[in-house]
Structure 1
Amino acid sequence: MPGGGKPPLRVILCSPRGFCAGVVRAIDSVERALAIHGAPVYVRHEIVHNRYVVDSLKAKGAIFVEELDEIPETDAPVVFSAHGVPKSVPEDARVRNFITLDATCPLVTKVHREAEIHFRRGREIVLIGHAGHPEVVGTMGQLPEGAITLIQTIEEAQTFIPRDAGNLAFVTQTTLSVSDTSEIVAVLRARFPAIVGPHKEDICYATTNRQEAVKLVAPLVDAMVVVGAPNSSNSQRLKEVAERAGCGYAVLVQRAADIDWTRLDGITSLGVTAGASAPEVLVEEVLDAFAQRYELHVETMAATEENMFFPLPRPLRTSEAAE
């Protein structure tokens, strides 16, 4: 700043933030496949919802496609993204004799298994989630058309008419807001007391933990920056949670270049977090941008400790052991 020192800014880093175990596993799966097989490695859909991560993997030899029909005949491996895929996708891959590696997050796979069990037991299934999200498309695609009804809002929960009110079950998208989901579940339980839910809600541990950290920090700061992609469901929810928890201004940015500095005039305190698919290097980039304008006093506020780990898909583990 011309004419004097920089103004002070108290920065509270939310902990945990950024990569979760499922994202680490998915990215490592692509990198491990590249190391074993060489380039190219094909990836169906963005491996995780973060442009920086996708571009980094492209530079190493990964080729991203939306559908398998974009892939030529090849001996190169094809990786399924962390969000999961409909059953038709691995079937199509088998028909074309592709080598496939499933990087679906184990917590998403758990939801798929729950839905299959309910279906085998003859229950009509409600999925609480957002239409068009790859995870929702993948979950609904585990079962025949019509077996799962998507409910996105409290209003839809209030007007939903099941085939048999006494034979219902629900599952949820893992990256939703805990409060949003609980409100919809409460409506369903009130209307259909016999509805069967998961033993533990399907909201993933990382989604819950990152939201809890934001709830701690948001009331203490003038503004909250969430580092993440606009198509990342868990990142969008972090921004909403910050606003609900009392933060006057919350913004989702992919990179430091996205920051609108005019909206931050006069702040003396700032919260910073990152969605589960955002790498820590982008958090550091954002902090560096603030450090050019402010004298930072950085502290961390932790909601919980995370030590979750998911092993790589089995074919990649076997190759590692053989080396």
Structure 2
Amino acid sequence: MAEKPLLHVFLAGPRGFCAGVDRAIKIVEEALKRYGAPVYVRHEIVHNRFVVEALERQGAVFVEELDEIPNDGQPVVFSAHGVPKSIPAEAERREMFFLDATCPLVSKVHREAEHHFSRDRHLILIGHARHPEVIGTMGQLPPGAVTLVEDEEQARTVEPPSDRPLAFITQTTLSVDDTAGIVNILQSRFPQIAAPAKEDICYATTNRQAAVKEIAPKVEMMIVVGAPNSSNSVRLVEVAGRASTAKAVMVQRGRDLDLATVEGVSRIGITAGASAPEVLVEEVLARLRERYTLEIEEIVVAEEKVIFKLPAALAASASA
């Protein structure tokens, strides 16, 4: 048998699950343990089909809106991305038992939005239209209170109300570099605009992008394990492409990796979006081993020790 060629693999650290994703999944799992199936979940709990399908097998039922849920007394979980205020209000009106799995760092942005609104500031939200997190954040305030800016071009042309002071907040899963460019334009145009007291882009997004930037110049190809509807995963592909990697591709599972794209490559980087479990990284490594002998090196740019508590309604069952 011919000897397999050597492939040097750089594993990004940190990669994969963040504390907010881990908490959201545990909320669904603990609700299933305590209350039994079904547990309803509004939208994908996190943007990863592997995770969603695993929870479905345990008895989770995913819906798009609350009107799809019968009045059977079973819990409904709101996804990690956050929801407009109208959603828990509707759940309360229907006397539903609901659990909020919104990432605490997203909730922090929601509170910032309310704070600025209470000070009569018009809010500029830097983010991507139609993303669930953006919909949830804009839904914390009355219509017209928030103007969405998606890119530098919009930052140059946006005309917010001129009769009120301004403030900006951001989606938590954006490109650090792209957001900095947008912020610079806004601050140049509106010097008095109020900024977040602390960076809105979450630590996990920042760390994963930093790891990709560290690895990308060392490799000929970067593989991002993630989902195409996952904002932080898409941003990792973009960051890799800008940081001199010749090829940057996203795969959802190991079986999705076309080994033909690895032909001629001797050094490859692998990372995973914040909603992708480590088992999927292992799948990609197993796929590469079909054709290559792997020499694996981990590049760690930060240690993550953040843990978010479960809601009080579930904490007792989790500790038990």
Please indicate the TM-score interval, normalised by the length of the shorter structure: over 0.9
2:145 is aligned to: 147
For residues 9-64 of structure 1, the C-alpha deviation after alignment (integer angstroms, 9 at most, x for no partner) is: 00000000000000000000000000000000000000000000000000000000
1:254 aligned residue: 252
* Secondary structure, counterpart of 1:126 in structure 2: strand
1:118 match: 116
TM-superposed CA distance for 1:313, in Å, is 1.2
Within the candidate set 297, 308, 312, 1:310 is matched to 308
Q: Give the whole-Å Cα distance in 2 for the aligned partners of 1:286 and 1:94.
A: 44
Question: SS state of the match for residue 224, structure 1?
Answer: strand
AA aligned opposite 1:87? K
* Equivalent residue pairs, number: 320
Label 1:118 to 1:261 Cα distance change in 2 as closer, same or farther (>3 A): same
- Residue identity opposite 2:133 in structure 1: E
Matched, 1:208 2:192: no
RMSD: 1.0
**Counterparts of 1:1-323 in structure 2 under 5 Å?**
4-164=2-162, 167-320=165-318
Q: Residue type of the partner of 1:109?
A: S
Q: Distance in 1 between matches of 2:216 and 2:94?
A: 50
Q: Secondary structure at the match of 2:205?
A: helix
Does the Cα contact within 8 Å between 1:166 and 1:194 map onto a contact in 2? no
How far off its partner does 1:261 sit?
2.1
**CA–CA distance in 1 between the matches of 2:58 and 2:160?**
49
Counterpart Cα distance in 1 of 2:179 and 2:318: 40
SS of 1:199's partner is coil
Distance 1:247 1:196, change over 3 A: same
Amino acid aligned to 2:264? G
Amino acid at match of 2:58: K
Deviation of 1:262 after TM superposition, in Å, equals 2.1
Using the size of structure 1 for normalisation, the TM-score is: 0.97
Q: Deviations over 1:220-268 (max 9, x none)?
A: 0110000000000000000000011110000011011211222221000
- How far apart, in 1, do the equivalents of 2:10 and 2:160 lie? 46
Q: How far is the alpha carbon of 1:152 from its aligned partner?
A: 0.3
1:165 to 1:179, Cα distance in 2 relative to 1, 3 A: farther
Give the C-alpha shift of residue 164 in structure 1: 2.1
In structure 2, distance between residues paired with 1:104 and 1:313 = 11
Letter in 1 for 2:251: V
AA partner of residue 286 (structure 1): V
Q: Residue 39 of structure 2 aligns to which amino acid in structure 1?
A: V
Structure 1 runs (4+) deviating above 3 angstroms are: 318-321
Contact 2:120 2:164 in 1 (8 A): no
Q: Which 5+ residue runs of structure 2 have no aligned equivalent?
A: none
The SS at the match of 2:130 is coil
Q: Distance in 1 between matches of 2:108 and 2:11?
A: 31
How many Å separate the matches in 1 of 2:257 and 2:289? 13
Structure 1 residues 303 and 320, CA gap change in structure 2 (3 angstroms)? closer
Contact 2:12 2:299 in 1 (8 A): yes
Partners of 2:43 and 2:318 in 1: CA distance = 25
CA apart distance, 1:73: 1.2
C-alpha separation in 1, matches of 2:209 and 2:318: 35
Q: Is the contact made by 1:124 and 1:163 (CA closer than 8 Å) also made in structure 2?
A: yes
Q: 3-state DSSP class of the match of 1:97? A: coil
- Cα deviation 1:201-221 (Å, max 9, x = unaligned): 200000000000000001101
**What runs of 5+ residues in structure 1 fail to find an aligned partner?**
none
- State the alpha-carbon separation in 2 of the partners of residues 92 and 31 from structure 1: 24
CA distance in 2, matches of 1:183, 1:152: 11
Paired letter, 2:93:
V
- Structure 1 residue 318: deviation in Å? 4.0
Is the CA contact (8 Å cut-off) linking 1:78 and 1:99 kept in structure 2? yes
The CA distance in 2 between the partners of 1:94 and 1:74, in whole Å, is 14
Alignment check: 8 A CA contact 1:165 1:192 kept? no
- Equivalent residues of 1:124, 1:167 under 8 A apart: yes
- Residue aligned with 2:222, SS: strand
